[in-house]
Every structure is written in C-alpha cells, then in structure tokens.
C-alpha cells in the first residue's frame, strides 16, 4: 500500500483515540490527528499549513456566530414563542397544516445557522411542551424535533455541509435554494405528519393553552416580528437584486437584524445574550477550525488525492453503498467532517451528474450523522428537551425515517441530471 494509505490510517486512528479515549473536543482531536499525520508523512510541524487551515472556513464560522446571536435575541424578545403560540391556537383544528407549520417553525433556526442543535434547543424546546399536551407521546415528540432539526440543517439559505463540499471542489454556493428545498421540505413534512397526525386529529385547545408561551403581541404589537421581517427582506433583496450594493453578506445582515431587535419585544441584555450564543456556537466553530486543519494536512500529505482516486475507481453499486453507509457513520463524529473527507471524493466520483443536485443529496445523507451515536447531537438534545432519559428510544423511532431519507438522497443523486432541469434556474 502507498504511504498515503498509512498516513490516512494514522490520522483516523489518532482522531478516534483522541475523541473516545482522550475525551478531547472534536475540533481539538482533528487538529491533533492532523499534526500527527504531518509528522508521520515527514513534514515535521507544518505551522504555516496549520494556520492556513484554521482560517479555511472563516466565512461559515462568521455566519454561524452571527446567526446564533440573532436566534438567541429573537428567542429572548418573545418572537419565537409568539409564533408557536399563534400556529397552535389558530390551526389546532387543521392538524395537517398545524403540523406542517410547526415543522417549518422547528426547522427555522437550522435554516439560518446550518446547525441542527440550534433548532432543537430553541424552537424545538419552545414547542415540545405544547406538542406533548396535544397528545403526542414523549418519544414521538422528541423524534419530530430531531428529524425536523436535521432537515432544517439541510434547508436553505444556509447549508454548511454544502459550503464545505463546495470549498473542496471550488464550487460556489450559488443555485442551491430549490435543490435544498426539494431535499428537505417534502421529507420534513411527511415525517412530522407520519409521526404525529394520528395523535392530533382532535384537540381541545383549552387544555393546552397554559403550556403555550405567554402572549407578547398584545404588549408589543407587530414590531415583535420586525427583526425576522428585516431578515427576510434582506435575504430576498440579496437574491432577487444582485449587485455590489445589495451584497452585504450574511454576517452583516444578521448584525443589522440583531440591532433592529432593540425594544421590539421583551427587554434583554445584548452582552449576556451574545455571550451565551457564542458559547453555544463555540463547539461547532471548533469543529470547523479542526476540519480546515485536517483538510489542509490531507492535501499536504497526498491523502486527499489518494482518497479521491480510490473513490473514483469504485464500481457504481459499491459507490452508492459506500455513500449510504459511510456518510452517516462518519457523520456520527461530525457531519461536517463527513461532508469533506467523504463528500468531496464522492462528488468527484460522480462527475457528469449535476454537481449541485449531487452535493444536495450527499449532505442530506450526511446530516443523518447528527442522529447516530456516539455524538448524536440532534437526537440526544431532543431527548433532553422532551425529558426522555433513554435516547435510544428516540433513535429507534427515527430509524425508519432515516432510512427513507437516505434512499431519498440516493434517488436525488441517481436522477441528478433530470432534477437539474427543474430545480436549477
């Protein structure tokens, strides 16, 4: 076997040991395994490459940080709670539409941050008590929140795994809106209604009103939703009227929306909210820094080229089997890491198909890693939100929908060129 194989083996082994035995954070483990890989390959301590890798994903890091601050702020103002309250009160007698809008509501933080955990811990935590009072059992409620959070992570406008794959093949993050909606929205609505519809066919709204967030709209009026409205306007203007005067960038847009939240709802402390948001985002930012370093060293040592060559040589059947099996398993450590280490070679092996559709399908499958042990970020946090002590009960309930999601992703890849005619403008 070539040297690159042994370097890859050493990097993966040292990473696994650092995570499971050393109990180091994933970002730190990626950095340590990268340094060990460079030493084994004979490059010594490559300081320049470590620094370059650290800043490889600066753009997604800034987007995640600013988006997390925005989410914490509109949660503090009461805007998120008011939206969930209005959905349930006005649509409780239309269960399909109620569940569909609740699904979108849970997905929303994931859509603007690219993080499944952001959706679970904000909107998921807000609607969990009401869903259980609607009659949906604890495990099923946790399953709805976990799956909706995964689909929110994949949905536009922010999909960090696609950005990571795009960075690996010099593919700009343009034209993904409809493909990512196609990848996430139908599955999200079907999953939630399949799990919850039979429990909410007849609802007594008076019994659950006490579990809904306190109404804020009577106190603050329409200005409660002003930050969200400004965010939507900026996003639409940026996409519908492209140009140097509208290209503000997502971090700046989120910063403007955060400032617009002043006096829009309940009073809050900007410093405390920002500090809490950054603390919550820090593990993900660390992972992105670690992935950047890992990728840089893989490129330096030739491991990246080795992986790509071997993946391209796989027969078609085993290529698709590898996609379905390896992306979620590797994603159990980090769906972001899986998107680059495996997603980029898989995308290159499928050249000739629409890269945008293929990348969308790959990230849909990779997102399932946030449901898989040992890390299982979306699943474990969803269990905590609903008060379920045994996370594996939620995982067992989600597995059929995870399998459907994986097959749906493979279908997108197989039909990539056909779908591209309808989904890429």
Handedness of CA 324, 23, 15, 161 (dihedral sign): positive
Handedness of CA 315, 321, 327, 332 (dihedral sign): negative
User: Which tokens is 206 given?
Assistant: 């008076």
pTM of the model as a whole = 0.84
3-state secondary structure of 3: helix
* CA-based nearest residue to 239, from 250, 228, 226, 252: 250
- Give the domain ranges of the chain: 3-423
Alpha carbons within 13 angstroms on the beta-carbon side of residue 246 total: 11
Each residue's pLDDT expressed in tens, for the chain with a length of 425 residues: 788 889 989 998 998 898 888 888 888 998 999 999 999 999 999 999 999 999 888 888 888 889 889 989 998 998 988 888 888 888 888 889 999 999 999 999 999 888 888 888 888 988 898 888 888 999 999 999 999 999 999 999 889 899 888 887 888 888 899 999 999 999 999 999 999 988 887 666 777 777 677 888 888 888 999 999 998 888 888 777 766 656 678 889 899 999 999 889 899 999 999 999 998 888 888 888 888 898 889 889 988 788 778 877 888 888 899 899 888 887 776 787 788 778 888 998 898 899 999 999 999 999 998 888 766 778 888 988 898 888 889 999 999 999 999 999 999 999 999 999 999 87
Compute the distance between CA of residue 353 and CA of residue 313 in angstroms, rounded to an integer: 16
- Decide: 376 and 367 in contact? Cβ < 8 Å: no
- With residues binned 3-state (H G I as helix, E B as strand, rest as coil), the percentages for the chain, rounded to 5, are 80, 0, 20
* CA-based nearest residue to 211, from 140, 146, 127, 137: 127
Q: Dump the DSSP string for 316-363.
A: HHHHHHHHHHHHHHHHTT-HHHHIIIIIHHHHHHTBTB-HHHHHHHHH
Compute the distance between CA of residue 425 and CA of residue 419 in angstroms, rounded to an integer: 11
Q: CB atoms < 10 A from the CB of 157, how many?
A: 17
* CA-based nearest residue to 340, from 389, 288, 378: 288
């Amino acid at each position: 076997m070539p040297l690159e194989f042994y370097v890859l083996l050493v990097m993966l082994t040292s990473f696994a040991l650092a995570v499971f035995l050393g109990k180091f954070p994933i970002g730190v483990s990626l950095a340590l395994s990268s340094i060990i890989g460079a030493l084994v390959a004979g490059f010594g301590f490559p300081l320049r490459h470590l620094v370059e890798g650290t800043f490889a994903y600066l753009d997604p890091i800034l987007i995640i940080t600013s988006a997390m601050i925005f989410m914490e702020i509109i949660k503090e103002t009461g805007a998120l709670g008011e939206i969930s309250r209005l959905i349930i009160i006005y649509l409780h007698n239309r269960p399909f539409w109620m569940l569909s809008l609740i699904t979108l509501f849970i997905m929303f933080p994931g859509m603007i941050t690219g993080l499944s955990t952001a959706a679970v811990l904000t909107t998921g935590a807000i609607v969990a008590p009401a869903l259980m009072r609607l009659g949906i059992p604890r495990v099923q409620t946790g399953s709805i929140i976990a799956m909706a959070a995964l689909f929110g992570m994949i949905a536009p406008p922010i999909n960090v795994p696609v950005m990571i794959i795009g960075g690996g093949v010099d593919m700009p993050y343009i034209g993904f809106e409809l493909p990512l909606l196609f990848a996430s929205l139908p599955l999200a609505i079907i999953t939630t209604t399949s799990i919850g519809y039979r429990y909410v066919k007849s609802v007594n709204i008076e019994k659950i009103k006490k579990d809904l967030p306190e109404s804020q709209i009577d106190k603050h009026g329409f200005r409660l939703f002003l930050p969200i409205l400004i965010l939507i306007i900026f996003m639409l203007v940026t996409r519908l009227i492209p140009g140097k005067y509208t290209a503000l960038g997502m971090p700046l847009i989120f910063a403007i929306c955060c400032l617009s939240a002043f006096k829009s709802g309940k009073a809050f402390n900007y410093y405390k909210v920002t500090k809490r948001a950054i603390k919550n985002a820090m593990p993900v930012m660390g992972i992105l820094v670690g992935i950047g370093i890992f990728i840089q060293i893989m490129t330096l040592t030739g491991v990246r080229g080795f992986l790509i060559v071997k993946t391209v040589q796989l027969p078609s059947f085993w290529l698709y089997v590898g996609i379905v099996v390896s992306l979620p398993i590797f994603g159990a450590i980090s769906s972001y890491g899986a998107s680059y280490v495996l997603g980029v070679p898989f995308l290159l092996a499928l050249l000739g198909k629409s890269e945008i559709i293929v990348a969308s399908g790959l990230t849909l499958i990779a997102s399932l890693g946030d449901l898989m042990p040992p890390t299982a970020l979306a699943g474990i946090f969803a269990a905590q939100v609903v008060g379920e002590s045994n996370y594996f009960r939620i995982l067992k309930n989600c597995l059929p929908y995870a399998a459907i999601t994986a097959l749906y992703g493979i279908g997108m890849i197989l039909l990539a060129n056909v779908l591209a005619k309808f989904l890429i403008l």
